[in-house]
Amino acid sequence: MKTFYTKKDGRIDQVAQTSNDKRPLYGSGWKTVPNDWNGSHGDKLEWFDASMHRIPDSELVKQGKRIDNIGLVYNKRDRSSRHIYLLDEALFEDETKIAPIENEIFQDWSESEQKWVIDTERKERAEKEKRLEELKGHIDDAERKIIRPMRAIQGQRATEADLKIYNELDIYIESLRPEITQLEEELKNE
């Protein structure tokens, strides 16, 4: 069995096999290939050596004749990923093969540095907002706990333990207020 091909625009155009050594009867420009030929319709001619043996894909990638983006690629805007399974699939303009920083939600892609960078301003703001909410939660909890001793004091039935609990919680609440004020001011001015 003999295999023949034609070329068009730098690619393998038609492939035909005959049971004898005669070229296909239809058309012109048929060339013969070796018996162990691994080509097919659409292959670029530059993927073959002078004797029409297929150059291995790994070598074609090294030579820059094929693109190997196989694996996960990441969107530079939202860090979502997709999988590339075939050679010669180009990345979209907003994609990179560089994986985002693990377990870091405050990151952006830097075109100038060609890497993921942490957005420190956004991260610091989020940390301040989180700390502010924690402090307010501590105050809310302490204010709930202070109600019973306060009622006992107002009803003139407070014990030493009631007075002690009331004073400790009052001091604790007041100790948190300056940090809350500072964080609120910083967040307002950012």
Q: Is 55 exposed, middle or buried (0-12, 13-18, 19+ CB in 10 A)?
A: middle
Query: Predicted confidence band at 3 (pLDDT cuts at 50, 70, 90)?
Result: confident
- List C-alpha distances in Å: 110 to 23, 103, 146: 57, 18, 51
CA dist., res. 24 & res. 5, Å (int)? 10
Quote the pTM value: 0.66
Give burial (CB, 10 Å; 0-12/13-18/19+) of 1: exposed
Ramachandran class of 64: left when φ > 0, alpha when ψ lies in -120 to 50, beta otherwise: left
User: Which has the minimum average pLDDT: 21-25, 38-42, 118-122?
Assistant: 21-25
Local structure of residue 98 (DSSP, 8 states)? S
